[in-house]
A and B are shown apart, each in its own frame.
Chain A
Amino acid sequence: MPSTRTSAQETAIAAVDLRKTYPGGRGRPPVPALDGLSFAVPAGTVFALLGPNGAGKSTTARILTTLSRADAGTAHVAGIDVARDPERVRRTIGYVAQKPVTDPLDTGRENLVLAGRLQGLGARTARTRAAELLDRFALADAADRLVRTYSGGMARKLDVVMGIVHSPRVLFLDEPTTGLDPEARAGMWAEIERMTAVESMTVLLTTHYLDEADRLAANVAIVDRGRVVVAGTPDALKDELRGDGIVVELAAPAPAAGSAGPPGELVPDAGPALADRVTDAVRACSGVREVHLRGRTLRARAESGAAALPAVLAALDAAGVPVASATLARPSLDDVYLRRTGRTFAAAQSDAPGSSAGDDTEATAAGVAA
Chain B
Amino acid sequence: MTAVVHTGLLTARALRQGARIPVFLVMNLVQPMIWLLLFGQLFRSVVEIPGFSAAGSYLEFITPGVVMMTAMFGAAWAGTAFVQDMDRGVMDRFLTSPTSRGALVASTMVYQAVVAVGQALVVLAVAWLCGARFGSTPAETALGVLALLLAVVLLTALFSALSNATALLTGQQEALIGISQLVTLPLMFLSSAVMDTRLSADWVADVARYNPFDWAVVAGREALAASPDWGVVWGRLGLLALAALVVGRLATLAFRTRQRSA
Q: Show the binding face of A for B, using Cβ within 8 Å.
A: 62, 65-69, 87, 90-91, 93, 95-106, 110, 114-115, 117-120, 146, 159, 162, 172, 366-367, 369-370
Contact = CB atoms under 8 A, between A and B. Distances in A.
5 contacts: A66-B95, A91-B98, A97-B93, A118-B98, A370-B258
A313 to B, nearest CB: 52
B92 A101 contact: yes
A106 B13 contact: yes
B97 A118 contact: yes
A25 to B, nearest CB: 11
Interface in B236-262: 258-262
A90 B262 contact: no
Contacts of A367: 171
Given A105-B17, A367-B171, A369-B262, A90 B97 contact: yes
B172 to A, nearest CB: 11
Contacts of B98: 87, 90-91, 118-120
Given A98-B89, A106-B13, A119-B98, A369 B261 contact: yes
Given A69-B260, A97-B89, A105-B20, A370 B96 contact: no
Given A100-B88, A103-B90, A370 B6 contact: no
B16 A106 contact: yes
A66 B260 CA distance: 10
Contact of A118 (B86, B99, B171, B259): B99
Given A101-B88, A105-B17, A66 B96 contact: yes
Given A67-B262, A369-B261, A369-B262, A118 B94 contact: yes
A67 B17 contact: no
B92 A67 contact: yes
A366 B89 contact: no
B199 interface: no
Nearest to A100: B88
A358 to B, nearest CB: 17
Interface string B53-86: 0000000000000000000000000000000001
Contact of B89 (A87, A100, A117): A100
**8 smallest A-B Cβ distances: which pairs?**
A97-B89, A99-B89, A95-B96, A101-B89, A68-B262, A370-B262, A105-B17, A101-B93
A118 B5 CA distance: 9
B46 interface: no
Given A101-B88, A103-B13, A118-B6, A69 B259 contact: yes
Contacts of B34: none
Interface in B1-40: 2, 5-6, 9, 13, 16-17, 20-21
B17 A118 contact: no
Nearest to A98: B89
Interface in B165-222: 171
B90 A102 contact: yes
Contacts of A87: 98
A283 to B, nearest CB: 53
Contacts of A95: 92-93, 96-97
A105 B98 CA distance: 23
Nearest to B13: A114
A67 B5 CA distance: 23
